[in-house]
Structure 1
Amino acid sequence: MDRELIVLDMAGADTQGESARLRAQGPAALIALPGDVPAWSITDAAVLKSLLADPRVSKDPRQHWTAFVNGEITEDWPLLPWIAVENMFTAYGSDHRRLRRLVSPAFTHRRTAALRPRVEALIAELLDRLAAVPAGTVVDLREGYAYPVPIRVITELLGVPETLEAGLRVCVDRYFDTTIDQAGAQANYVEMYGLVTELVVYRRDNPGDDITSVMITSRDEDGSQLTEKQIVETLMLVINAGHETTVNLLDQAIVALLTHPQQRAAALAGEVSWSEVVEETLRYEAPVAHLPLRFAVEDIEIEGLRIGKGEAILASYAAAGRDPRVHGATADIFDVTRAAKDHVSFGYGAHHCIGAPLARMEAEIALPALFRRFPDIRLAADVSELTPVVSFVSNGHQELPVYLS
């Protein structure tokens, strides 16, 4: 590595501005993570897709990250919870395929489709609650709508008892705060691990038609099952990814439609589908800006770029979504009529998000329901005043203030 490192802003204060600066360095930029840990930020969509699908790229630091293997990444590194878990998020090769086979029965098309009536009922309940707010009141739609839709869906999907819901919500919020120090990150990991362990114990004693119960009983072709640690850490992954991604998708879609009234009108009139709205939002403002980390299993040469064996790779989804090589001069413009809405916001290749169909379904129900119920909805602050969440991973707003009427 002979380039100057760009220090990445862990607070994510200007995701798209920073993405543009990274993109200006070429298909990949050499960046510095906390502790001056180097990594390659991949911003070119074609290069990123190629690497995400390449068997020479791993997510297992124990096998393939030289700095981790050599002990340079210690227990006090603040991003350790993102790379040191032992579940399908970090598994490599045949181990990943085995774990994914054991988890996938919980995310079948049938199981996702069966959730639609419940999602519709939850959304109707939330809209009724919002409709009871006195006219002229500023409402935070992230807190009052974008947040509760996916958290309630995911907790019901996992069979989480009500006694654990509040604690898990706090842990999820802390998990995505990438400015938190190592002690705080580790304490949060331990707390969440304990809560999810309680969930597994509860569902082992009280099995139901939920993801947790399915994972407990799933067996591979050879009769092997997930270990207790793998179940807990996989459920932690499902809770974190399945919730935060959808919150940000709803948040960013609402902002985009409120600031592009003609496109909102086109969607409401059926001139464009709500699926197109969702896909353009995923491209325009990827719910996950950067996802740590991947590692080169061997030296990789791609488009004049050389990533050395054992070096770290950061998937920069927000930057790739606005790649001008794919979307041309209009890459930075929100346009639901765009013919090609190509993006990698749910990942690509072997680690493509297993819950992507569920997130899409939630958004395609929640967005039209909101705008039909409140046709006069408008922002209660200038879009420039909306504050990003404190995270270089999560791409959303701390608050989304609106007037409903």
Structure 2
Amino acid sequence: MATATQDTPGRCPYRLDGSAADIHGEATALRAVGPAARVELPGGVPAWSVTDPGLVRRLLVHPRISKDAHRHWPAFLDGDFPPDWPLRIWVDIRTVQTAYGPDHSRLRHPLVPTFASRRVRALAPWLEETTGALLDDLAVAAAAAPDGVVDLRRHFAEQLPWRTVTALLGLPENMQHGFQGINDTVFMTNLTAEQVAANTAEAERLLGALIALKTERPGDDVSSALVQAHHEGRLTERELADSLWMMMGAGYGTTANLLDHAVVNLLTHPAQLDLAMAGRVGWDQVVEETLRHQAPVANFMMRFPTEDLYDEATGLTFLRGDAIVINYAAAGRDLEVHGADADLFDITRATTREHVAFSYGRTYCLGAELARLEGRIALKALFSRFPTLELAVEADCLVPLPSLIFNGHQEVPVRLEGTPDQ
């Protein structure tokens, strides 16, 4: 639960828990404060946490809201926070996710063709084949385990998006293990400064090797397209490396979290799983309710007003240079939008699709359609192949990822049970 830094209960700013032990407990406390609340991020950095979905949408499309700390965050420019701030990577990085104005369009442009609807839909047969192979591997892993318990997250929920993103990037097999290991830690918000520095150095080494390879031997992949954009002067060297890094993290962990939570929610709501298995509710609806109920990105770091902004609907004023965190986890469970039972998982919910889990407006996630496609294919195949799948522990024993940013579990131990359908 979020805790106030002052002695008076309910006062702000709230000091957010870097280990993210209770993201939704914090979200409930912050929503009680109002549409946005003053918080303290790990490292003692002050910010706003925006929880109201209407305000979220207005800020995401406002022309005077920047994502570029290098231009519009005075605290960053003046060095008014610890040099070893554990979240520094999220403002240091130079990608479409941190760009403002014309830079946003310039950095987005090389990525757009990869996520065109026609090209995404064409991936469906490959995704189905890859999913089938992963389910074979899952069965082998379960059979080899003495107690029949296998970690569904590690063996399935993470593997499908990782194989997808590495295929899109054209990532050589000998680099995949190293990149995946770094990606598994980069979103953690409880690391020491030394751990962050070591991870950053290793990421830079791996990225340098990838860029050198794609420069010498380009292919029909996103990495080569970004390298070409750099050679044509459309991306700086820093933007090239950071864009590659962003693609891996955004395409991998977010979808892994989606699959993770969808499986856990369905296994703990068997009547709803029955509806999906019987075809009475589509798998697309399961995906959307999961996105609403358990936003894969809980909090997005950060945005900054380029001038003082007054929001008439809420009466709030955000001062120029204030750090703003978009709290997607809280916005997805807004009581006014989703009703008094917003905390409950319900795939028949009429407002299921009214979420902002993929952002909104010009910053809407390029990979949203691909993530949805992966979710539909993976969930349908998983429960068709293993209809008696069950959690091997009580759901409240699952340990969350230590991340304010990524919303998932460290492990999802399951038993496949029964005889898999062939």
Could you say which TM-score interval applies, normalised by the shorter chain?
over 0.9
Paired residue for 1:330? 341
> Following the alignment from structure 1 to structure 2, what is the Cα–Cα distance between the partners of residues 230 and 259?
43
Which residue identity lines up with residue 212 of structure 2 in the other structure? Answer: V
Paired residue for 1:257? 266
Query: How much has 1:184 moved relative to structure 2?
Result: 1.6
Indicate the percent of aligned positions where both proteins have the same amino acid.
47
User: Secondary structure, in 3 states, of the residue corresponding to 2:275?
Assistant: helix
> Following the alignment from structure 1 to structure 2, what is the Cα–Cα distance between the partners of residues 38 and 75?
15
Which residue identity lines up with residue 84 of structure 2 in the other structure? Answer: D
User: Secondary structure, in 3 states, of the residue corresponding to 1:293?
Assistant: strand
Paired residue for 1:395? 407
Give deviations 1:59-98, integer Å, cap 9, x for gaps. Answer: 1111111211222135311111011111211110111111
8 Å CA contact retained: 1:102, 1:225: no
> Following the alignment from structure 1 to structure 2, what is the Cα–Cα distance between the partners of residues 166 and 82?
23
Query: How much has 1:129 moved relative to structure 2?
Result: 1.8
> Following the alignment from structure 1 to structure 2, what is the Cα–Cα distance between the partners of residues 195 and 18?
36
Query: How much has 1:230 moved relative to structure 2?
Result: 1.3
Tell me: higher relative CO, structure 1 or 2? Use CA pairs within 8 A at least 6 residues apart: 1
Give deviations 1:158-214, integer Å, cap 9, x for gaps. Answer: 000011111101111110111012232122122112212211211222222211112
Aligned equivalent of 2:89, options 81, 93, 106: 81
* 1:18-33 matches, cutoff 5 A: 18-33=26-41
Which residue identity lines up with residue 395 of structure 2 in the other structure? Answer: V
TM-score by length of 1: 0.96
Paired residue for 1:357? 369
Which residue identity lines up with residue 262 of structure 2 in the other structure? Answer: A
Q: Which runs of 5+ in 1 are unaligned?
A: none
Asked if 1:346 corresponds to 2:358, the answer is yes
Which residue identity lines up with residue 371 of structure 1 in the other structure? Answer: F
User: Secondary structure, in 3 states, of the residue corresponding to 1:388?
Assistant: coil
> Following the alignment from structure 2 to structure 1, what is the Cα–Cα distance between the partners of residues 209 and 369?
28
Paired residue for 1:186? 197
Paired residue for 2:80? 72
Give deviations 1:283-307, integer Å, cap 9, x for gaps. Answer: 0000111111111111111211111
User: Secondary structure, in 3 states, of the residue corresponding to 1:294?
Assistant: strand
User: Which range is displaced more, 298-307 or 280-289?
Assistant: 298-307
Aligned equivalent of 1:301, options 293, 305, 310: 310
User: Secondary structure, in 3 states, of the residue corresponding to 2:84?
Assistant: coil
Aligned equivalent of 1:203, options 214, 224, 232: 214
> Following the alignment from structure 1 to structure 2, what is the Cα–Cα distance between the partners of residues 295 and 164?
36
Q: Which runs of 5+ in 2 are unaligned?
A: 1-5, 418-422
Paired residue for 2:300? 291
> Following the alignment from structure 1 to structure 2, what is the Cα–Cα distance between the partners of residues 113 and 213?
22
Which residue identity lines up with residue 285 of structure 2 in the other structure? Answer: E
TM-score by length of 2: 0.92
Number of aligned positions between the proteins: 402
Which residue identity lines up with residue 286 of structure 1 in the other structure? Answer: A
Asked if 1:137 corresponds to 2:137, the answer is no
Query: How much has 1:107 moved relative to structure 2?
Result: 2.1
Q: In the superposition, relative to structure 1, how do residues 105 and 219 fare at CA in structure 2: closer, same or farther (>3 Å)?
A: farther
Asked if 1:168 corresponds to 2:179, the answer is yes
Give deviations 1:196-236, integer Å, cap 9, x for gaps. Answer: 2211211222222211112223489xx74222221110010
> Following the alignment from structure 2 to structure 1, what is the Cα–Cα distance between the partners of residues 205 and 119?
27
User: Secondary structure, in 3 states, of the residue corresponding to 1:202?
Assistant: helix
Aligned equivalent of 2:396, options 376, 381, 384: 384
Aligned equivalent of 1:214, options 225, 248, 266: 225
Give deviations 1:298-343, integer Å, cap 9, x for gaps. Answer: 1111211111111000010000000001111121111111112211
Paired residue for 2:159? 148
Give deviations 1:22-56, integer Å, cap 9, x for gaps. Answer: 11100011000123211000001111111011111
> Following the alignment from structure 2 to structure 1, what is the Cα–Cα distance between the partners of residues 119 and 238?
25
User: Secondary structure, in 3 states, of the residue corresponding to 2:350?
Assistant: coil
Give deviations 1:377-396, integer Å, cap 9, x for gaps. Answer: 11111111111011111111
Aligned equivalent of 1:239, options 224, 248, 262: 248
Q: In the superposition, relative to structure 1, how do residues 183 and 37 fare at CA in structure 2: closer, same or farther (>3 Å)?
A: same
8 Å CA contact retained: 1:102, 1:226: no
What's the Cα RMSD here?
1.7
> Following the alignment from structure 2 to structure 1, what is the Cα–Cα distance between the partners of residues 85 and 383?
43
Which residue identity lines up with residue 284 of structure 2 in the other structure? Answer: S
> Following the alignment from structure 1 to structure 2, what is the Cα–Cα distance between the partners of residues 227 and 66?
24
Structure 1 runs (4+) greater than 4 angstroms displaced: none
Asked if 1:280 corresponds to 2:292, the answer is no
User: Secondary structure, in 3 states, of the residue corresponding to 2:98?
Assistant: coil
> Following the alignment from structure 1 to structure 2, what is the Cα–Cα distance between the partners of residues 380 and 62?
47
> Following the alignment from structure 1 to structure 2, what is the Cα–Cα distance between the partners of residues 177 and 237?
15
Paired residue for 1:56? 64
